[in-house]
Structure 1
Amino acid sequence: MGLLSDIVFCEPTVGGQIGAAIVQLLLWSFITNYDYGVMAHVHKYVKRQPWYPTVQENMKDDDAQVIWDFPDPGFNYVTFFQTIMHHGGGGVLMSLGMLLGQPWLWRHGMLVEVGGMDLLDAFRIANVKFFPPGTFPTNVFLKSKLFGPLMAFHHSVGLCVGIPVNMYFSEIYEFQLFGLMTLGFPAICLGPGLIIKTLDKAKYARLLFAEQMWVFLTFSLGSRTIFYFPAAWSCFLHVWRSPFGSNWNVILPFTWALLAMSAFNLMILGIQLNSFYKRLFGKDTLHAVRRSSSSLTDIVASVSVEFGLTNMFVASRLVARAHKAKDRVKEQHTKDQ
């Protein structure tokens, strides 16, 4: 019963953490399975809705669709729901742990990321590689050469800090709040998009723009910049000054996670700021304003599409721009001939 109790209460022991991570892996492997799991039913439900054609149209220009090229662009909306559900699930457990004074619940929330995403994705990638065709949609994601390296980059952060924090710092409020803001808060930032993305982007352009502004202010600028950098540095200093600061098995993973996530957050902020500037103050935008008194709606709609936040935001944005640049070169080459 000792090991079972450690797993149930996610005790900060090696057996407790490994066992609880496996539990989360199994749970989320069922939830996110598109053949028989929860997401299979979500997918079917979404496709039956009268607003699904609007979602398909809205997601055609989504940056994620440029990379993954799903036969049905609307599937990107389903994966967007999965992202919010994942962040929300971890956030609820962390919130309950903090409100009820039960760190074991918070630790389970952390393992929603470590076991329910980081380890699960590694398992599914291996499944596709060794037992093709593997599981959907991982087998589609892997068609992109960027997916493997980006997953290694993204998941290494959770793996490097998740277990060490659970083992040594999970009862410290500073770390609890940082984990909640990192894992749980994105569900609040992205949640309104579940409704907004079902609306006609031409008819509700201003509402779409307001939703993207909400994401920018709460997610990119708020939680991932204004809150993140002071909080991350404070947590790092706490680790450094703690008795575990001299343990390289602890400090090296923390250092990597701090640098990697900081770089990721800065890229998101920079890309979004650049998108706003180009759309609102670029030449094309100014000409459009002069042409029509109603052009603000078109500008807003354009910003809304350009400013889409996806699971792989940075990769999507960079690859989308690369595709556009490649098309421009081809077009220019054709004209020259």
Structure 2
Amino acid sequence: MFLTTEIDQCVACVKYHQASADVKVSLEEEYKAHLRRKDQAQEAKKADKERTENDNSFMSVIFDLQSVLQIPSSKASLTYYMRKLIMYNLTVYEAAAPNKAFCFCWTEINGNRGSCEIGTCLLKYIKSLPPNIKFLPLFSDTCGGQNRNLQISALLLYVLQNSQLEVIEQTFLESGHSLMEMGSMHSAIERQKRFVSVFCVNDWMNIFKLARSKRGKNKNKPPYETEELKFSDILDLKELSAQLIKNKSIDENGEKSAQVASKPLRNFDHHDVYKANTPLEGLQSLNLNFEHPLPRRSIQFPRSGQAFCYTQPSLNAIWVSWAKYVPSELFRLQKDLE
């Protein structure tokens, strides 16, 4: 059950409800289509969750990036005004019991929050799947810079070439109505954070591991699995996309497609990509490589070539500003490493 919040409401719904009577008439069809897409996406998620419970070759997965985390974070008033180190946390949640969940985290020193970082985390998760999994539905929000782009499509094609998976279906939940199970993970992490201060990445990772409650329906569920990504882990999916995806807009009939960023997106083992705005509007086929089927070949998987976000002097400046509040053993360790 998902509760309706007073904040962070859907822009399209707010626009419709606040419009004058005359404007509402012009927005009516668009608003109804918006609600249909919302219902269809949620019904698809529910159906896949039920199938996951009964089919051991099927694994429905939801993933989402948590709101930015900060280091340091404590109740000391002056830390509120300090320069903070930003940390990102991609959470992955399995729909099948016992609902295993994963936290892939990295700081802004090691990466941004774009498609390369998100794709790297997804690849790490997919590699951990047992060999009996053949069908992998992925559910996420519609953020274009992170989830809904050619780089992630290229990654999924690469996975199909190099794993036991036969079908990967990526469904983008309607903007403003995501209603994902990740919310329970994020709130559990924030609730656990209230009891401790954070001065380093390991502090956040310990919070992740302890966040899941062991009471009630969660008593048989495992703790969140946690992994930190370093700069050297981030893959260059833009280069991979250039190697794999040669066709971005021509459909199977040789016509230019307007559905390049539409939903859902389904990758099959023969490497076609099917795109459709909604089931009511039909299904469209787009061959990304102009070859049918796409040959299984060795693909060079480059590492990200981006530069570090900070130089050493600015890192030192952060440590100096924290010196009065960081536990003394951590500050001494940093000085020893210089």
Which structure's residues are more often strand, by fraction? Answer: 2
Give the TM-score taking structure 2 as reference length. 0.26
- Bigger relative CO (Cα 8 Å, ≥ 6 apart): 1
